[in-house]
């Protein structure tokens, strides 16, 4: 299994190697680097990637183009509840699984094509990473974002259950 704790530093190093400032990313070079990052990491069946386009919450002052790579890792062991029937003693409860997101977020002003548009792509809906990438790149709003300089960007990670 890929060590999710190394994912953000690996992505950051790849962006810096392209001479990109993580706080002011060029959209096309960031996407190109993110695609390489997707292809380089080992995948488990339950791990996916997302691309989100749109406003994240109603009070948001920006439109976002967000690249997310989700990693699975084993979570802490949960306390076991008392088992009442004999068949329960025969089964082990599954280990809880946590999801760890590595996020590349580009922010755009709320204007033009970015005022109200929203879309989300999940690699889990496609048979291959290449099919996922092709669907994202065919989206006209994604293409508009690639041709527009964002007002800022950030890289971060978060636990997502």
Task: Please report whether residue 25 resides in a domain.
Answer: yes
Task: Please report whether residue 69 resides in a domain.
Answer: yes
Task: Please report whether residue 116 resides in a domain.
Answer: yes
In contact, 106 and 65? CB cutoff 8 Å: yes
- Tokens read off for 161: 């259950």
pLDDT at 158 > cutoff 50: yes
Q: How many domains does the chain have?
A: 1
Task: Please report whether residue 52 resides in a domain.
Answer: yes
pTM of the model: 0.79
In contact, 62 and 47? CB cutoff 8 Å: no
Give the model confidence (pLDDT) of 90-114 as tens digits.
545 444 556 788 899 999 998 877 8
Buried b (16+ CB within 10 A) or exposed e, 29-63: ebbebbbebbeebebeeebbbbbbbbbeeeeeebb
Q: Show the domain range for 107.
A: 4-76+87-160
Task: Please report whether residue 15 resides in a domain.
Answer: yes
Task: Please report whether residue 19 resides in a domain.
Answer: yes
């Amino acid at each position: 299994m890929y060590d999710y704790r190394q994912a953000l530093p690996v992505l950051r190093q790849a962006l810096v190697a392209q001479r990109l400032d993580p706080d002011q990313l060029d959209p096309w070079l960031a996407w190109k680097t993110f695609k390489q990052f997707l292809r380089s990491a080992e995948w488990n069946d339950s791990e996916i990637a997302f691309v989100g386009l749109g406003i994240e919450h109603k009070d948001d002052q920006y439109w976002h183009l967000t690249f997310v790579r989700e990693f699975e890792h084993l979570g802490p062991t949960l306390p076991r509840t008392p088992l009442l029937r004999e068949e329960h003693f025969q089964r082990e409860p599954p280990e809880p699984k946590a999801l760890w997101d590595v996020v590349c977020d580009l922010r755009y002003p709320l204007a033009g094509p970015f005022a109200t548009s929203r879309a989300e792509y999940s690699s889990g809906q496609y048979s291959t990473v290449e099919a996922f990438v092709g669907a994202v790149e065919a989206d006209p709003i994604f293409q508009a974002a690639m041709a527009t300089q964002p007002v800022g960007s950030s890289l971060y990670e978060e636990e997502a259950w």
